Amino acid sequence: MSAVVHDDQSARAAIAAVPLWYHSIEVAPRIVTPGLFDLRPIVDRLPWPDVRGKRCLDVGTSDGFLAFELERRGAAEVVATDIGGHEQWDWEHHLDELGPQYLRAVAGEQMGRGFEVARELRGSAVRRERASVYELTPDALGTFDVVVCGSLLLHLRDPLHALAAIRSVCRGQLLCTNQIDLMRSVTRARTPLVRLDGTSGITQWWLPNAEGHRQMLRAAGFGLERDSGLYAVPFGPAHEPRSRRPRWLLTSFARRLFAGGDGVPHLAVLASPR
């Protein structure tokens, strides 16, 4: 796709027309979308494989930051997948109706609008396909040299089912990032642990410690190559202001001490199908 020339005013207007951005993405020099999370400061900490000339997949792409990063790093082809409607989230039982209603109110009816705006403004050739991670099959999309799955697993009711579907289309390497339980990653570093939620109303089901994240990949049939170590995904400008209460300040200090920043603690693992 050839780049489309936009002046700053029209680019900012297109960005403003999207009700809610998940990713902070630089779509043009000095023009950045106002995301909930900003991966730009930590993207080089991920254990990236060489993607040059390869066919790549970004699973659960949202606004597309990681898909565009694959493209920037020289991938020959990038496919990005995500669900097609708010009702397709793995909602908790009590939010089957209220959850989609809430997201339509704050994020708009159309999922993927942010991706399309960013794609056009960047002049990107990434192709977006509507598909749940559970629906990935070689027959539907083919197979890929590199698959990226960013911050998705904790939002899934059945992350091992999802990893099995990812494995079915991964013929090379998987870069999998996930939010982790920071304190249990520090205090129980050698023990794989996963905390089950599923009732909080924010579609957070399984929150592992760092070793738990590694074990989920092993259990799904992946061999581990290397990982990022603990890091924190910074909050973006669209994120609600952080509390200044003593408990939050203590949590913030722990994140800075063990994850290197006041954001959401993560671990990224590079793996390959066994």
Whole-model pTM: value is 0.95
Question: Biggest alpha carbon distance in the chain?
Answer: 53
Cβ atoms 272, 225 nearer than 8 A: yes
pLDDT of amino acid 129: 98
What would the pLDDT profile of 195-241 be if each residue is shown by its tens digit?
Answer: 998 887 678 899 999 999 999 999 999 999 999 999 999 999 999 87
202 versus 73: the higher-pLDDT residue is 73
> Which of the four pLDDT bands, split at 50, 70 and 90, describes residue 6?
confident
Residues sharing a CB contact under 8 Å with residue 230, sequence separation 6 or more, in sequence order: 180, 182, 185, 210, 258, 259, 260, 265, 266, 267
Beta bridge partners of 206: 196
Residues sharing a CB contact under 8 Å with residue 162, sequence separation 6 or more, in sequence order: 133, 134, 152, 153, 156
pLDDT of amino acid 202: 73
Cβ atoms 263, 24 nearer than 8 A: no
pLDDT of amino acid 231: 98
182: enclosing H helix or E strand = helix 182-187
pLDDT of amino acid 55: 98
Q: Which residues of 5-24 are buried (b: 16+ CB within 10 A; e: fewer)?
A: ebeeeebeebbeebeebbbb
Percent of the chain with pLDDT over 90: 87
What are the distances in angstroms from CA 118 to CA 28, 123, 173?
A: 9, 8, 26
pLDDT of amino acid 200: 75
Beta bridge partners of 78: 56
Counted residue by residue, the chain has a size of 274
| Arithmetic mean of pLDDT, 134-161 | 98
103 versus 244: the higher-pLDDT residue is 103
What would the pLDDT profile of 240-256 be if each residue is shown by its tens digit?
Answer: 876 666 666 778 889 99
